[in-house]
Amino acid sequence: MKDRDVALVSAFFEALSRGDLDAMAACYHPEVSFADPIFPEVEGRDRVMAMWTSQLRGRGEFKAGFHEVTGDDRTATARWTAHYTYRGTGRVVDSEIESFFRFEDGLIVGHRDEFDFRRWSRRALGRPVGFVLGWMPGFRKTIRDRARQALEEVAWHG
């Protein structure tokens, strides 16, 4: 893995932890694509940054604890922990996330995050509601629809 790619991923997570949207955007290629269990497909830097804006807004303290990065000349994998308060319930959430990155022109062109949705729902909603609902496909769709609506309400202009 190239040192510049490690530095780029590190810079991204440092910016995320500070909530520095402009610095995060500087790490992304204009044609970046993002996906995770809640946002299955977000295309283009402006939309991806609108997604991050909607996610970081109103969360109070947000921390991104970056653990490690591995990879090769074109891709990287990083493990990190997101610590924040879920605004829907006011509950503190710690999510273990694995991120996969692809690089092009010295920037991140692909970013996919994976985490256990059922574990997230238990932490965000509490027991027993989060435990029961986390297994239901309809609940996941509801969360995705709400997240997509929040994304549509945010415009990011870096």
Q: What is the mean pLDDT of residues 135-151?
A: 70
Answer with the residue of higher pLDDT: 79 or 1: 79
pLDDT band at residue 29 under the 50/70/90 scheme: very high
**C-beta of residue 133 within 8 angstroms of C-beta of residue 125:** yes
d(CA 143, CA 153): 16
Q: What is the pTM of this model?
A: 0.85
Domains and CATH numbers, the chain: 3-152 (3.10.450.50)
Please, which pLDDT band fits residue 96 given cuts at 50, 70 and 90? very high
Residue 15 confidence class, pLDDT cut points 50, 70, 90: very high
User: In the predicted model, is pLDDT for residue 1 greater than 60?
Assistant: no
Mean pLDDT of the region 141-153: 74
Confidence at residue 140, expressed as pLDDT on a 0 to 100 scale: 67
25 has pLDDT over 90: yes
Residue 156 and residue 50 in contact, taking contact as beta carbons nearer than 8 Å: yes
Q: Give me the residues paired with residue 68 across strands.
A: 79
The DSSP bridge partners found for residue 20 are: none
pLDDT bucket at 6, cuts 50 / 70 / 90: confident
**Residue 107 and residue 8 in contact, taking contact as beta carbons nearer than 8 Å:** yes
Residue 139 has pLDDT above 70, yes or no: no
State the average pLDDT over residues 48-57: 88
Residue in this structure with the two tokens 């947000």, named with its chain if needed: 62
Structure tokens at 19: 């909530």
Question: DSSP states of 121-133 as a string?
Answer: HHHHH-TTHHHHH
List residues bridging with 78 in a β-sheet: 69, 99
Q: Which two tokens stand for residue 154?
A: 């945010």
DSSP class per residue in 33-74: EEE-SSSS-EESHHHHHHHHHHHHTT--S-EEEEEEEEE-SS
Mean pLDDT score of the chain, rounded to an integer?
A: 84
Using an 8 Å Cβ cutoff, are 48 and 28 in contact? yes
